[in-house]
C-alpha cells in the first residue's frame, strides 16, 4: 500500500483509506470531528483532498478508527510521502487547487487520453499559440506576470510529459473546429498545425482528428481527460473542462469507463495515423 507513484496519487490513496476506515466504524464526519474537538469542515477538507494532514492529526484519527498498528504505520508513511513538493509549487498562488491536482495526476500517469473540442490541447500547443490563447480565455484582464506564469507552467508540463526521456503515452483526439479556429494569426496557426502533425511521429504520441463529417457526438458536450495509472490501487480518473476553463474532477470508475467507451466510439469516426497527418498538413497549407 505504500508504493505510491508520487505525492498526488499517494495523497489520493490516503484520503480513500481514511474515508473507508471511518465508514467501516459507522461514524459520520460530525461524530469524528466532535471526538477530536475539530471543526467538521477540517475533516471534510482532509477527506476531499483540499488540504493535507499532519502525522499528529493522522495518528489521532486512526486512534478514533481503532486502526491496527500495521495500518497506522502504512498510512503514516503515505502521509509523509504525500507532503513532497513538486515543481508547480512555486506557482501555487496562481493555480487553482483542482488544476494543481490535475498536473500531479498527469505527471504520475502511465497514459493520458483526451478529447478537445475548441482549442489545441495544452500539451501540443506551440509557445506562440499559447501566448495568443491564454489572455483571450480570462473573464477579466490579469497582469502580464500571471499570463507569463501560465505559459511557463504549460511549457514545463510539455517537457515532463511529451519531451522527456521517458514520455507518457498520450492519445489525443482533436475536433476539426479546434484546428480551424485561427489563434494568433496565420503564421502562428501554420506553425501550430505543422507542430501537431510532427507530434504524431513521436513514439508516445497518437493524434486523431474528428472531422465535421462525423456528425453529432458526445464530445460536443465539452472536452475531457481520462488519466490512467499503472498501480491497481489507483483507479483511473476523469477531468471535465468547464466553460470557464476549470477542471472538474470525477473519481467514479463507472463514469470513467463510460467516457472511455465514448472516446473509443469517437475515435472510430476520426481520421487517424497518416490520414490525420495529411489532414493537418492540408490545413497548415491552407493557413499559410
Residue at grid coordinates 473507508: 20
Mean pLDDT within 222-248 = 84
First to last CA, the chain: 54
pLDDT in tens, 91-134: 988 888 888 889 999 999 999 999 999 999 999 999 999 999 99
On the question of pLDDT at 159 being above 60, the answer is yes
CA dist 199 and 185 (Å) reads 21
Local structure of residue 271 (DSSP, 8 states): B
pLDDT band of 10, cuts 50, 70, 90: confident
Q: How many Cβ atoms from other residues are within 10 Å of residue 147's Cβ?
A: 16
Compute the average pLDDT of residues 221-245: 85
Distance between CA atoms of 64 and 51, rounded to whole angstroms?
Answer: 20
244 pLDDT band, cuts 50/70/90, is low
Tens of pLDDT, residues 32-57: 999 999 999 999 988 887 778 899 99
Q: Is the pLDDT of residue 12 over 90?
A: no
Q: Is the pLDDT of residue 214 over 90?
A: yes
Residue 1 pLDDT > 50? no
How far is the C-alpha of 43 from the C-alpha of 213, rounded, in Å? 50
State yes or no: pLDDT of 166 exceeds 80. yes
* Band of residue 188 on the pLDDT scale cut at 50, 70, 90: very high
For 46-71, give one letter per residue: b (16+ CB within 10 A) or e.
Answer: bbebeebbeeebbebbbeebebeeee
On average, the pLDDT of the chain sits at 91
Which position has the grid cell 500531479? 104
Instruction: Say if strands 247-250 and 237-241 run parallel, antiparallel, or are unpaired.
Output: antiparallel
What Rg do the C-alpha atoms of the chain give, in angstroms?
21
Q: What is the pLDDT of residues 78-103, one digit of tens each?
A: 888 877 778 988 998 888 888 888 99
For 49-117, where are the E strands, in sequence order? 111-116
Reference 47, options 68, 27, 66, 67; nearest CA is 27
Q: Structural domains in the chain? A: 7-82 (1.10.260.40), 93-287 (3.30.870)
Confidence of residue 6 (pLDDT cuts 50, 70, 90): confident
What was the pLDDT predicted at 4? 41
Secondary structure E strands in 28-131? 111-116
The number of angstroms, rounded, from the C-alpha of 102 to the middle of its chain's C-alpha atoms is 3
DSSP annotation string for 60-112:
HHHHHTT--HHHHHHHHHHHHHHT---GGGGGTTTS-HHHHHHHHHHHH-SEE
- Taking the C-alpha atoms of residue 223 and residue 244, their distance in angstroms, rounded to an integer, is 12
Give residue 266's pLDDT band: very low, low, confident or very high (50, 70, 90).
Answer: very high
Decide: 227 and 235 in contact? Cβ < 8 Å: no
The sign of the dihedral angle between the CA atoms of 249, 252, 253, 258 is negative
Phi (first) and psi of residue 240, to 5 degrees:
-110, 135
The phi and psi torsions of 77 (rounded to 5 degrees) equal -65, -40
What is the predicted pLDDT for the residue at 2?
Answer: 36
Long-range contacts of 38-47 (CB under 8 A, 24+ apart): 46/15, 46/18, 47/15, 47/18, 47/19, 47/22
Give the residue-averaged pLDDT of 145-169: 95
Q: DSSP class of residue 167?
A: P
Amino acid at each position: 500500500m505504500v508504493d505510491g507513484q508520487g505525492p498526488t496519487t499517494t495523497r489520493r490513496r490516503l484520503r480513500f483509506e481514511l474515508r473507508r476506515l471511518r465508514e467501516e466504524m459507522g461514524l459520520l464526519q460530525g461524530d469524528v470531528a466532535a471526538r477530536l474537538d475539530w471543526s467538521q469542515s477540517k475533516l471534510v477538507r482532509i477527506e476531499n483532498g483540499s488540504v493535507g494532514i499532519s502525522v499528529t492529526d493522522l495518528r489521532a484519527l486512526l486512534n478514533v478508527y481503532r486502526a491496527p498498528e500495521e495500518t497506522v504505520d502504512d498510512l503514516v508513511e503515505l502521509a509523509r510521502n504525500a507532503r513532497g513538493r513538486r515543481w508547480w509549487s512555486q506557482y501555487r498562488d496562481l493555480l487553482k487547487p483542482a488544476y494543481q491536482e490535475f498536473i500531479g495526476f498527469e505527471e504520475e500517469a502511465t497514459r493520458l487520453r483526451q478529447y478537445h473540442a475548441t482549442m489545441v490541447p495544452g500539451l501540443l500547443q506551440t509557445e506562440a499559440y499559447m501566448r495568443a490563447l491564454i489572455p483571450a480565455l480570462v473573464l477579466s484582464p490579469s497582469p502580464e506576470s500571471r499570463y507569463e506564469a501560465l505559459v511557463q507552467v504549460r511549457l514545463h508540463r510539455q517537457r515532463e510529459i511529451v519531451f522527456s526521456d521517458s514520455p507518457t503515452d498520450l492519445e489525443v483526439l482533436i475536433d476539426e473546429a479546434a484546428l480551424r479556429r485561427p489563434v494568433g494569426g496565420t503564421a502562428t496557426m501554420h506553425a501550430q498545425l505543422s507542430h501537431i502533425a510532427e507530434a504524431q511521429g513521436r513514439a508516445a504520441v497518437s493524434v486523431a482528428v474528428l472531422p465535421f463529417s462525423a456528425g453529432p457526438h458526445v464530445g460536443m458536450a465539452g472536452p475531457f481527460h481520462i488519466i490512467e495509472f499503472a498501480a491497481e490501487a489507483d483507479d483511473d480518473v476523469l477531468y471535465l473542462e468547464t466553460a470557464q476553463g476549470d477542471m472538474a474532477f470525477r473519481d467514479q470508475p463507472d463514469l470513467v469507463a463510460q467516457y472511455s467507451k465514448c472516446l473509443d466510439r469517437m475515435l472510430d469516426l476520426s481520421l487517424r495515423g497518416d490520414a490525420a497527418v495529411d489532414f493537418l498538413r492540408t490545413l497548415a497549407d491552407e493557413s499559410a
